[in-house]
Structure 1
Amino acid sequence: MLSKRLRGKSLMSVNEIPLLFRVVNVVKRMDFIDEITVATTDLIADDPLESAVKDLNVKLFRGDSLNVLNRFTEAADDLDEHDTIVRFTADNPLYSPSISTEVYKKHLDAKADYTHIDGLSHVVPEFFTVAAIREADKLTNSNFDKEHVTPFFRKNTHLFKVLKLPNDFEGLRPDLDPYFTIDTNDQLNAFEAMLSALDYDNKAVHLPQLYQYLDTIKHQPHTDKLRIKLHNTYVGEDYPTYLIAEIGQAHDGSLGILHSYIDAIAETGVDAIKFQTHIAAAESSKHEPFRVNFSYEDKTRFDYWKRMEFTKEQWKEIKSHCDDVGLEFMSSPFSNAAVDLLEEIGVKRYKVGSGEVNNFLLLEKIVRTKKPIIISSGMSSYEELDKTVEFLKRNNADISILQCTTSYPTQPEQYGLNVIGELKERYNVPVGFSDHSAKMETCIAAATLGAEILEFHTTFSRGIFGPDAKSSLTIDELKKMVIAIRNIKKALEHPIDKNDNSKFEALKNIFEKSLSVNKDLPAGAIIKFDDLEAKKPKGYGILASQFNEVIGKKLKRNLKTWEFLNEKDLV
């Protein structure tokens, strides 16, 4: 019930049927399910689920609100360690019984501890043994693992037998999968429209028919927001600020350090982690000078880029690690060859660095992938940016633009926060801010001014080796900044109506004041300004705001010092 994006969604009506009811009803159609338990929190906010579960005739377990992993363990307390737990989530109401059954068979045949669809699926659940979930609960100390439950299996394949099935297993469509969850009002509306169009609640509708419908509507002009969701992107005024932690070359060519960054960033609450994909021979030459002559190891900039390269298999491992910890993998390409590599790895969108905004050869290559594009505007004038935006729009690209100043570290007078609003007005696309200031307040200010995407360099320490270290936020700073930005977004989503203060009525009675006299006054005395004081609470005398109406009036009776003054005391 405490969804961050759609509060109360578990019992929210989806075409007049509560979301939880839809999920449970689908699960009941799966022959391999022996019993159903709804596991929720012990918070008061989830009390309504208790009565709902009685109507569904299934079990209920209530546990820790933050440690979901332990909630699973305790809910399975009476099960045998060889039993299988099937994890359905209450925001995915269209699970496929047939494909789920096939995955369950694979899970049993492989004698796996944990089985999942690669990248996870909104129409197929996850499977794990009771023994595995108990072991995970004992081993992990990570708050991320405790909240998200199954990433611990996926990143510890040396401890658990993990079966990962391809994301197109039995005809699954990973490109359409984001349509099958409900996490925002916009998704809810689109979902209801789909069910209505297919008359879902009155006849048998199977997954291929849903796919066919989505293939039809996703190309229609009025479904722009759906098309963005297709790439699992929630960018814009209706969505949380999208936060991208840029690692760049902070790993200094070390895979071990890079993977350490992934684990650390996963604990901060950002949405994506971004790298840079360099192929030295395709993007540079021995003639390229150093931007910052920081390296004692590399004779030329070309040598440095060469040392920053990773193989295709290494990049696949990097992306897989990001998937496992719930981070979107992003990487900026600096050559057409890098785009080809990233297509093989499987990116959802492209981030174009400031130095590539006028590289129309690269932009053409990226446009052909038909994936969303985020561009930084750091070194571009409006004249240059106009040409780039016109080119991308002409090619029907989904674009976002980040205000950016190419200066390391950026000083306050260089931030260009005013440009955020200018970009929105000029191009009518989602706009964000790319930061190199190494200060938390910069992105906080940008979020307050309406930045919908924030990108920032991150490092373990500003004292370490590398060209961007001094322009980066530390991990601890990043954690604090994320909390601040999420709070600001929430504040911006809830404007206050100053014409209506009815909700403060009780407080006004406490804090506002009534008139009293500050000295003994006899009957017949004429009230003067110097005779009056205002005392809490409101309602025990004439309102303090009405003092002018009292001055010059005569008292009917004697009043003692600090006694409240009422209408009945005046002639």
Structure 2
Amino acid sequence: MTTGILILCRYDSRRLPGKILRDLRGRSVLGHILDRVHQAVPGHPVVVATSARSCDDPIAEFCRRSAVPCFRGAAEDVAGRFLACAEELGWNHAVRINGDNLFVDPATLHAMVAIAETGVFDMVTNVPGRTFPYGMSVEIVGVPFYRAVLAGVSDPHHREHVTSWLYQNPDVGRRHIYINRTCPEAAGMHLALDTPEDLSRAAALLARLGDHPASVGLPRLHALLMQEPEPSPWQGESGPLLIAEIGGNHEGDFETAKAMTALAIESGADCVKFQIYRGATLVNPVESPDRYRHFQRFELEPAQHVALARMCTDAGVGYLSSVWDMEMLDLVEPYMPFYKIGSGDLTAWPLVRAFARRGKPILLSTGLATMDEVLQTVAQIQAVDARYRRPEWLCLLQCTSMYPIPDSDANLRVMDALRAATGVAVGYSDHTVGGAALRAAAAMGAEVLEFHFTDSREGKTFRDHFVSLTVGEVQELKRDLKQIRALRGHALKQPEASEVTQGHVESFRRAVYANRPLRAGETLTTADLTVLRPNHGTDARDFDRLIGLQAKRDIAAFRALTRGEDYDDSQNDWAPDDI
């Protein structure tokens, strides 16, 4: 049983001419639709169906260059075109996706194809009742059923609108109405692409979808459309938010803590971080007496923590603390723009939920955890407050809870896995020696970099000092991060201004030229043509189109070839069944 997807489109849209090939962040509208369809049903045949009119030649040319099958048929009889393509390719079911469905939902399309392929229904559709947004319509018909229906339909209106007759005759055929139960609040939302305003809105939305927009489904799209863009708390002066963690490096000495705080402020870190705990509320003195005594020795008084917080905020630097004692959280709450939950408390769900109920962004370290454990804790947080589904509200830090760790244990690629699995922000908490891991993490897109900080590693015995940076090393890191940010650039693939202004798009690329003088009427062969710089006349990608054509006039060697003047390819390139 073969189910194929047909993308029906034309170039001469009345309200938005050429919309199907309009550029949206370096990819055409048609390209975005193809990406979403392939995301939904990989391995299923996908065909673009347009008319045989010359005005739709650009669509056929896009498909040829993209290795996407293109079927061409009648302009007004769209239903006939749809059926003819499905029959020619021998499909059992045909899926209709319109060219204005820029945001077709991959999960919906996948589920509906699975239902159609059971063979129980003649038609599977999500249109009746309009429980989905406009611009997310999916219609699937059995090809034999549709052939029988169309045989009795002659009204031009129904022939143009493909399925309108079926909706006027709801008792014909066995049907399944696919209801939006994933995000019912999105019912009737306008996501179709019909006007210049729609195009602008789509471009703005795509800019918020990250590096893989085709994978973003309806719930996230709806959430983004319902909320105003808000600033990310994870943005630092040099790109990623830099958190200099003094932690326990003060070893319980308040004067040392103040001196380290002053140095961390001097380093230019965006935030200075501590840990607030009492041995009595963190460690079982019977089960772990040595660690109990260790944490007691490193305690600072509550008032001392407040004084350190004020040092930071008075200097215009962020203050942060991992608060392991909820009774002490109220003391420093006014100074913290967001919360930090350490790796050891990732599974302490009563504490995690208590932080979430307070309603500030959360930075969550993931040391010691499996992916299942991370996702379970994320679910706990998001169940308390749906805002934690947003990257501005939740950031996961890849972390390995050992001091120090070998480079092979940093596992920076986990950041990619966390981002893909959750859609929230990601960062890195470093326990390696040196700064290479921090720089690599920044290059991979970490939005937060947390590292230990000390005044000096010399003469120290406490383990955290050995994985800590000093003032000069943080300042050097900041300089490198600014360059890394510039090198990372953006995810928008298009010619840069430096390429365009120098004319390199034309001068570096090749075109097709005759490599010998040609007489009018001569048939062009591979031996007659070559591809050379610059790209004047006929693009090198069109080399194959010229083979077998006749020269319309005498052509000098190495002169630019012009379509319509030197050759005419209208008869061999735009055939109605160009698949």
User: Normalising TM by the smaller chain, what interval?
Assistant: 0.3 to 0.5
TM (norm. structure 2) is 0.45
TM (norm. structure 1) is 0.45
Q: Which has the higher contact order (CA 8 A, sep 6+)?
A: 2
